[in-house]
Amino acid sequence: MIETIQWTDSGVVMIDQTRLPREEVYVTCTDHLEVAEAIRSMVIRGAPAIGVAAAMGIALGMQRADSVSQFDEICEAIRSTRPTAVNLFWAIQRMRSVFDELGGRELPEIRERLVSEAIQIRLEDIAINQCIGKNGAALIPDGKTVLTHCNAGALATAGYGTALGVIRAAIASGKKIDVFADETRPFLQGARLTIWELQHDRIPATLITDNMAGHFLHSGRIGCVVVGADRIAANGDVANKIGTYSVAVLAKENNVPFYVAAPISTLDLSLASRQQIPIEQRAAAEVTHFHGVAVAPEGTEVANPAFDVTPNRYVTAIITERGVARAPYSETLPKLIG
Ligand code: MRU
């Protein structure tokens, strides 16, 4: 299995996703500020992986802290990294609940409990993804191609993946499928990470540029689309990597089912709909440059929203570890949460 993130005695070890696929390099973060920077710079990325990193960052911060009063400032450093993936805030809240329960206890006990909680979040995430895979496998048409966007795989989680977990589980159940991966401009998660990960597992994968998706969705070859999510509002609107919305519209136009695979921790039922989902804006250089080489004139005005929101009417189903939800999502999602 690909190890995305691990807790070790020397710190939080992550595979550096900015350097894949050219180099397989691991970085060790030795304090919470390094973890925060790893999240911000996308050394680690993908909503569930960001959640695990946040939890481990807080645990690490408290290992280095000399007073319990530093907890809030450590959480704040982690919180201010990336705004869209709700798993970040979910993980901070979960760590805070443990911290609050231990009110009045000595620092060594607090440290130990926070470390075990962060390790537990990582383990749970892998198990959750395997459940998502099992729940979604039946939806994947046999003998067809699955189109995916961005990377919602082992690299975007603690392991196994959400969208790629569904694909892995479908293959494990005996289905003969292959994968088309959108390259996912501008950060190229599809080209760099999804293809690397699928090759690692010997899953047949073909890389296409983002603007080829319509052509292949129209061709009849694609049996379904499966993507991950960064935040899902109460009505089933789905925030995911920029370009997901276009794929969803093209899928509907061509009668191809569009599935979203995500853990319950990606649901944000406190937000009624897409208008309230914060969208991260990233640096212009991600658009104007390609591996450090400028592809646009100097001084070019750039828009670089990292995510878009797919309205619920394009979403055929949402696959979670607790089951599969279909419209009307404002009724089915709360039932899944229970
Ligand atoms: O900017 P990124 O690479 O963190 O965006 C990742 C995505 O959009 C993923 O599809 C999403 O987080 C789900 S990962 C299981």
Report the candidate in 212, 250, 197, 233 with the shortest Cα–Cα distance to residue 309: 233
Which residue minimizes the CA distance to atom 10 of ligand 1?
228
pLDDT at 247 over 90: yes
Residue-level pLDDT at 282: 97
- Match 């501008």 to its residue by tokens: 186
Residue-level pLDDT at 104: 82
Name the β-bridge partners of 7. 12
Q: In angstroms, what is the span from residue 229 Cα to ligand 1's centroid?
A: 6
* Tokens read off for 97: 């609940």
Pairing of strands 26-29, 11-15: antiparallel
Task: Work out the pLDDT band at 159, boundaries 50, 70, 90.
Answer: very high
Q: Annotated catalytic, 100?
A: no
Residue-level pLDDT at 338: 86
CA dist 100 and 115 (Å) reads 15
DSSP 267: E
Q: Answer yes or no: pTM beyond 0.75.
A: yes
Q: What is the pLDDT of residues 161-193, one digit of tens each?
A: 999 999 999 999 999 999 999 999 999 999 999
CA dist 141 and 135 (Å) reads 14
Residue 30 backbone dihedrals phi, psi, to 5 degrees: -105, -5
Q: In angstroms, what is the span from residue 225 Cα to ligand 1's centroid?
A: 15
Of the residues 39, 238, 240, which should be mutated to test ligand 1's pocket, given the most ligand atoms within 8 Å of the CB? 240
Of the residues 18, 89, 150, 197, which should be mutated to test ligand 1's pocket, given the most ligand atoms within 8 Å of the CB? 150
Please give all residues whose beta carbon lies within 6 A of any atom in ligand 1, as ranges: 45-48, 85, 150, 152, 156-157, 162, 189, 227-230, 240-241, 306
Task: Work out the pLDDT band at 308, boundaries 50, 70, 90.
Answer: very high
Which residue minimizes the CA distance to atom 6 of ligand 1?
46
Report the candidate in 220, 228, 197, 194 with the shortest Cα–Cα distance to residue 208: 194
Of ligand 1's atoms, which has the minimum distance to the CA of residue 261? 15
- Count of CB atoms situated within 10 Å of the CB of 36: 23
Residue-level pLDDT at 322: 98
Residue 206 backbone dihedrals phi, psi, to 5 degrees: -125, 135
Of ligand 1's atoms, which has the minimum distance to the CA of residue 240? 8
77: Cβ contacts below 8 Å, ≥ 6 apart: 32, 33, 36, 57, 61
CA dist 34 and 13 (Å) reads 11
Residue-level pLDDT at 248: 98
CA dist 287 and 185 (Å) reads 8
Of ligand 1's atoms, which has the minimum distance to the CA of residue 45? 4
Q: In angstroms, what is the span from residue 174 Cα to ligand 1's centroid?
A: 27
Q: In angstroms, what is the span from residue 109 Cα to ligand 1's centroid?
A: 34
Residue-level pLDDT at 295: 96
Q: What is the pLDDT of residues 23-76, one digit of tens each?
A: 999 999 999 999 999 999 999 999 999 999 999 999 999 999 999 999 999 999
Residue 240 backbone dihedrals phi, psi, to 5 degrees: -150, 180
User: Averaged over 93-104, what is the pLDDT?
Assistant: 96
Which residue minimizes the CA distance to atom 15 of ligand 1?
152
Q: Which of 230, 237, 268, 308 is catalytic?
A: 230
Q: In angstroms, what is the span from residue 146 Cα to ligand 1's centroid?
A: 18
